Amino acid sequence: AQTVTQSQPEMSVQEAETVTLSCTYDTSESDYYLFWYKQPPSRQMILVIRQEAYKQQNATENRFSVNFQKAAKSFSLKISDSQLGDAAMYFCAYRSPFQGAQKLVFGQGTRLTINP
């Protein structure tokens, strides 16, 4: 079974600075998908960014980018120019490509605080 580990329960960063959230995972599959979700106090689960394992190029979405290291099974999220609205819980998630395996395996989450 796949596992996802987020080793940083809490992180804080000054507004406008850059922060990196760590995520590692364990799998025997060669093809899979990785996601970062944001959960603000409103409790909504909001997709931030996704990465296909077969793509070597790191995904980027505006101020959000990932550092995907397949051999190391690492998938970190970098947030540039941090804004107060970025404060939230961030979850890393793994998804198997197999038909019917429509499930996400989540990490424990990292609570990100933005200091003004």
Partner 1 sequence: NAGVTQTPKFQVLKTGQSMTLQCAQDMNHEYMSWYRQDPGMGLRLIHYSVGAGITDQGEVPNGYNVSRSTTEDFPLRLLSAAPSQTSVYFCASSTGQGINQPQHFGDGTRLSIL
Interface mask toward partner 1 for 12-31; x: CB under 8 A: --------------------
For partner 1, the closer of residues 14 and 97 by Cβ is: 97
Q: Does 94 help bind partner 1 (rule: CB under 8 A)?
A: no
- Beta partners for residue 76, in sequence order: 67
| Smallest distance from partner 1 to CB 58, Å | 15
50, 70, 73, 78: which one binds partner 1 (CB under 8 A): 50
For partner 1, the closer of residues 17 and 103 by Cβ is: 103
- The neighbour count for residue 63, using CB atoms within 10 Å, is 13
Task: Note whether 8 and 108 are within 8 A (CB).
Answer: no
Determine the Cα–Cα distance for residues 63 and 2; give it in Å rounded to an integer.
29
Determine the Cα–Cα distance for residues 111 and 27; give it in Å rounded to an integer.
25
